[in-house]
Amino acid sequence: MNENEMKTVRVAGREWNLRYTVNSLCALEDRAGMSIDRLMDRQFSATRLLLWAGLAELQPELTVRDVGALIGEHIARGGSLEDIVELCADGLREAGFFGREEAEA
């Protein structure tokens, strides 16, 4: 997958279209007011913003608050925050960001 392709993910029992682009990551940093590296020290905020950035690229009506509720629903259904982190990490790697070399090794 490159930044022009989407990935379908399942969160809170529903399928969503996920795509990370340079613009979506810039929107994430703009929203956070800090770089992704610094944001990663804030586990819940980072996870919510990472998922929002990937989902909002193709579903722009979703707000950060909507995505927080979606993560809460995912956890209430027996999922975990780590599930969300992993699907975001996979999406970022597949789009060519963060560790692409490792994913291909």
pLDDT in tens, 18-31: 999 999 999 999 99
For a pLDDT cut of 90, what percent of the chain falls above it? Answer: 69
Q: Is residue 82 part of a domain?
A: yes
Q: Using CB atoms within 10 Å of the CB of residue 45, give its burial: 0 to 12 exposed, 13 to 18 middle, 19+ buried.
A: middle
Q: What is the pTM of this model?
A: 0.85
Q: Is residue 1 part of a domain?
A: no
Judged against a pLDDT cut of 60, whether residue 34 lies above it is answered with yes
Cα gap 12→1, rounded to integer Å: 23
Query: Which domain covers residue 50, as residue numbers?
Result: 7-104
pLDDT, residue 80, reads 95
Tell me the residue ranges of DSSP E strands in the chain: 7-11, 14-18
Structural domain count, the chain: 1
37 C-beta neighbours (distance < 10 Å), count? 8
Number of C-beta neighbours around residue 31 at 10 A: 15
